[in-house]
Amino acid sequence: MLLSKGFEVELYTGTPAGNIVGLSDRIVADLNGFVREPDSRNVEYTTPPLRRYEQLLCELVRPRQQLRAYLKQLGNYTLIPGSSLALGDTHRFYRSDPDNPYHTYIEHTYGTKVVTASVHINIGIANPELLMQACRLVRVEAPLYLALTASSPFLGGQITGAHSSRWRVFPKTPPQVPLFESHQHHIQWTEHQLEQGSMQNVRHLWLSVRPNGDRRPYCLNRLELRICDLVSDPVQLLAVTALLEARLLQLFQDPSLDPLESSQLAAHTRADELLQLTDANEIAVADQSLEAQLRHWRDGSPILAADWLQQLYDQVWPTAKAYGISCFLVPLKKILRQGNEAQLWLRQAQTASVSQVVVQAIDTMRRQEEGLSDDICEPKVA
């Protein structure tokens, strides 16, 4: 049986010219299913946990179509792709909820470093020990998912030099998070962080992947992959998700894929070295995405991100085929061949201004959604 899957999608709102405008207060007040972020310039919607990819596709597209229709009522506003303030004010924080003390802490502690848009992929795993094992494997391979999804090469109208400016500056919190060896290890570690104040609450665990649930850290039921930049094409997002799900299904069939067990790095320093290796891989991918030179968690050997992803694609293909989801993997081949959004935009920026690239991306995103809505998603019956 396929695993349940859901998304938390953050989006910027603004004008067709790419100017980002904070409208989340009005959106959240008037539309069901949307929640505010600390800064008003982006807004989030969440899809229900589903197993079938066809249903997931429509749950990704419908809220955007609803939001677009609402934005037209407010004025000449639209949705803006990308994960950074490509053309916006990168210094001022626009509070969406001035009376929220947690938002106050975030603004004063991190500033606009957290004013980003991304997508979090949630995969249902009810067994807490399997969940910890899954988090360990996905943690060391998380840089690969960022390599596929990087979409923040611009900031404040400038080319930053990074493919994911978002992850390059995002304040991972706490700075050092272990590979949790068990559910009990996770509980004890979280309680300690809360006691010493390095986490303000149980949500204040910001890293590439984390265990999640209705009563953290005690009742957990899903893996949350948080490293991905915003993927504006829903079909490509499903492809990234299919890769993640197939990898997890492969792990459940073959527990030896657990990096704490099967890595060839020295046993007495393995956990620490895996973390150091993974942190370095995340930085390299934030800078160069698919072109980044990484070190493989199995033995520390150097490998190009695109080559590692091709290997992973080939490894999970039999599992994906057995579960009937191999067709959803196929769009990854186009990303590996042509590049992710950041790479495509940077190539366009060689002959166009940043604002022109952003305007074109806005139109591309709109047309993709319209095509999917017309061709695949049937209207809901009231």
Close Cβ partners of 145 (under 8 Å, ≥ 6 residues apart): 225, 227, 228, 240, 243, 244
What is the model's pTM? 0.96
Q: Which of 189, 261, 252 is nearest to 223 (CA)?
A: 252
Residues sharing a CB contact under 8 Å with residue 111, sequence separation 6 or more, in sequence order:
91, 93
Q: What is the pLDDT along the chain (382 residues), one digit of tens a residue?
A: 999 999 999 999 999 999 999 999 999 999 999 999 998 999 999 999 999 999 999 999 999 999 999 999 999 999 999 999 999 889 999 999 888 898 999 999 998 899 999 999 999 999 999 999 999 999 999 999 999 999 999 999 999 999 999 999 999 999 999 999 999 999 999 999 999 999 999 999 999 999 999 999 999 999 999 999 999 999 999 999 999 999 999 999 999 999 999 999 999 999 999 999 999 999 999 999 999 999 999 999 999 999 999 999 999 999 999 999 999 999 999 999 999 999 999 999 999 999 999 999 999 999 999 888 777 766 554 4
Strands 78-80 and 5-14: antiparallel
Spatial CA neighbour of 166 closest among 116, 211, 204, 238:
116
CB within 8 A of 69, min separation 6: which ones?
none
Say which residues have a Cβ less than 8 Å from residue 70's Cβ, sequence separation at least 6: 27, 30, 31
